[in-house]
Amino acid sequence: MPFFMSNPTGITWLVAGLGNPDRKYQNTRHNAGFIAIDEVARQLGVSIDRKKFDALVVDVSLAGQRVLLMKPQTYMNLSGVSIEKAASFYKIPPEQVLVIFDDISLEPGKIRIRRKGSHGGHNGIRSIIDYLQSDNFPRVKLGVGERPNPNFDLADWVLSVFTQEERKALDDAASHCKEIAELTIQGNIEQAMNLYNS
């Protein structure tokens, strides 16, 4: 396959979970992507702790491919910076960049998988689209719940902490992300959608 010749490292996919790096954000709604990617790493028996591309990364084998798991450390609104650096370095096209992130339009524990699409008002996804100059990348949306009322400040809401019950629901959703990533990498994203889309 000529693709591998252009990428001698053998890494063919990026799987990135979005969030904010400071400890104070650990259990907040906006960090659902970090929580999920940490769970993928846990299931694979690795830690995402190497610093590269303004991110924490680990190189793993997933669905028979070499994959870079990533947690961008540029803060949510600049998530595209580190993802573009890694994609450019490994010559990975947008359609082989899987992004896991929070979605306030879904209840905690709900999952929605998409092959591509707009940013839908999510600043992390907006940044990735800007830096990759494409919206043609697969993504996994993890529900974190809607604001209590329309007047509740959106930034305050996404940076608020999960209740115990909400976190349990999110952890359950996160437990499926490894399989979703495997199916997506294998070219079976439709199967992943049928299994997990809420």
Cα 22–27–29 angle (5° rounding)? 100
For residue 82, what is the domain's CATH number? 3.40.50.1470
Q: How far is CA 175 from CA 21, 24, 70, 114, in A?
A: 21, 23, 17, 18
Q: What percent of the chain has pLDDT over 70?
A: 95
At residue 165 the predicted structure's pLDDT band, cuts being 50, 70 and 90, is: very high
From the list 30, 119, 122, 176, the catalytic residue is: 30
41-68 burial, b at 16+ Cβ within 10 Å, e below that, comes to beebeeebeeeebbbbbbebebbeeebb
- Mean pLDDT along residues 14-29: 95
Contact 126, 119 (CB under 8 A): yes
pLDDT at 8: 55
Looking at the 3D structure of the chain, how many domains does it have? 1
Type of residue at 160? S
4 pLDDT more than 80: no
What residue numbers bound the domain in which 125 lies? 2-196
Is the alpha carbon torsion for 41, 44, 50, 52 positive or negative?
A: negative
- Mean pLDDT along residues 62-71: 96
Beta-strand relationship, 97-103 and 139-143: parallel
CA distance linking residue 94 with residue 77, whole number of Å: 19
**Model pTM?**
0.94
pLDDT at 150: 86
Residue 119 known to be catalytic: no
